[in-house]
Amino acid sequence: TPKSCLSVQQLIDSACEEAIIYKKCKIDGIIVENMFDVPYVMGKQVGPEVTSVMTRVCSEVKNVMGKIPCGVQVLSGNNFCATAVAFAAGLQFVRAESYVFAHVADEGLMEACAGPLLRYAKNIGADVLYFTDVKKKHCSHAITQDVDICQTAKAAEFFLSDGVILTGTETGDPPKIDELKALKEAVKIPVLIGSGVTEANLKNYSTADALIVGSHFKRNGHWMGDLDSNKVLKFMEKVNLFR
């Protein structure tokens, strides 16, 4: 990718170093994501090199994590690639964008993929869970403005999503608390929080079934920073108070 400066082995080493920290901090699970591959591309624009390198990285991370659940997301909205990676690397789940309903992202128009995606997974024998974003961050949802977030989540549930992910408007932005409450009442599948959770606001999201945390665990609170093991430890200590 345009900003690439590390060898494949360096990518593996970096990912495994973070995985070791997460494991020591007794995290419940991790997601491997190609966040630094900016600008992101979609669909057929994703080359086989992305799938192959992500598979290598995820395989090594899975070896580090052992029985701790591991998942993958391949940006942007490359859910078929992520499924292949999860299948080959033995991961348990995929975070899938644009699962139901089209929307416009900074990468372009993202179309719904639930039908072909689950058929693809079935055909290759990938027994993975799909946690799916609804009204996802970094996107315009004007073309579905007459469909609210609960209707979107119900559609994802009907199309066999294993859980829906609620986010704010961008990375690091916390979602609306009333939307979490509404989603918990609207669907029977798990509701996950996918952005903006910190140690300070954790109690606001204690009713969620899972929390996906990235930026808060970094030294400067930004996703590009180095992982801070002390922040992870303190966060998990507070999480355990709500269990």
Span 213-231, pLDDT tens digits: 999 999 988 888 899 999 9
The pLDDT, as a whole number, for residue 137 is 72
Q: Please, what is the Cα angle at 161 between 90 and 96, to 5 degrees?
A: 60
pLDDT of 87 higher than 90:
yes
Please give the Cα distance from 233 to 48 (Å, whole number): 37
Span 112-166, pLDDT tens digits: 999 999 999 999 999 999 999 998 878 788 888 999 999 999 999 999 999 999 9
The pLDDT, as a whole number, for residue 214 is 94
Query: What does the mean pLDDT of the chain come to?
Result: 94
Please give the Cα distance from 208 to 220 (Å, whole number): 25
Question: What is the CATH number assigned to the segment(s) 8-241?
Answer: 3.20.20.70
The arithmetic mean of pLDDT across residues 58-69, rounded, is 98
The pLDDT, as a whole number, for residue 67 is 97
CB atoms within 10 A of CB 70: 24
